[in-house]
């Protein structure tokens, strides 16, 4: 027996809270909204930042420094082992071929090949970036490495 097997049976489906079904239900009359005020009205949407007149946390804390994270280049990664598994010998591996093989979801991100696994087939790989290990493994198998310009 496994914890995942138990939770599928016991806590797999939580019933929704039916409000306004009498005081005996525990959430009748005001339906858990309390008495009067903005939160009691329909259509009220409390913002998480709202602190009821208190100076909000994000305004109390100083803003300092610079974060370079927004300028990083993110890659879709493919391992050498996946190329060995999905492509025949002497195949031309392009970003479009990787999408068709199901190794990459879409072409929005540039593709990087990593060196995890072994490669015995001769492949011509044409993607944006390679790790050093991947480049060595492709060339050791007799393949060719081409660096295409990222989109």
DSSP per-residue letters across 100-140: HTTSSS-SSS-EEEE--S---S--EEEESEE-HHHHHHHHH
Spatial distance between the Cα atoms of 126 and 143, rounded to a whole number of angstroms: 11
Mean pLDDT to the nearest integer, 61-66 = 89
Q: Does domain 74-147 have CATH number 3.100.10.10?
A: yes
In this predicted structure, the answer to whether residue 9 has a pLDDT above a threshold of 70 is no
- pLDDT band at residue 151 using 50, 70 and 90 as cut-offs: low
User: Which pLDDT score is estimated for 12?
Assistant: 67
In this predicted structure, the answer to whether residue 38 has a pLDDT above a threshold of 90 is no
Q: Read off the pTM.
A: 0.58
Chain position carrying tokens 């009067």: 36
- pLDDT band at residue 121 using 50, 70 and 90 as cut-offs: very high
């Amino acid at each position: 027996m496994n914890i995942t097997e138990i939770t599928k049976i016991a806590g797999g489906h939580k019933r929704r809270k039916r409000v306004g079904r009498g005081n005996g239900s525990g959430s009748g009359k005001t339906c858990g909204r309390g008495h009067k005020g903005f939160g009691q009205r329909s259509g009220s949407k409390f913002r998480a930042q709202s602190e009821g007149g208190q100076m909000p946390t994000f305004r109390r804390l100083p803003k300092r420094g610079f974060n370079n994270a927004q300028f990083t280049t993110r890659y879709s990664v493919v391992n050498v082992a996946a190329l060995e598994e999905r492509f025949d010998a002497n195949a031309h591996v392009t970003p479009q071929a990787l999408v068709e093989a199901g190794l990459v979801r879409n072409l929005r991100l540039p593709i990087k090949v990593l060196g995890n696994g072994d490669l015995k087939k001769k492949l011509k790989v044409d993607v944006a970036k390679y790790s050093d290990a991947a480049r060595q493994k492709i060339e050791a198998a007799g393949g060719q490495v081409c660096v295409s310009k990222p989109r």
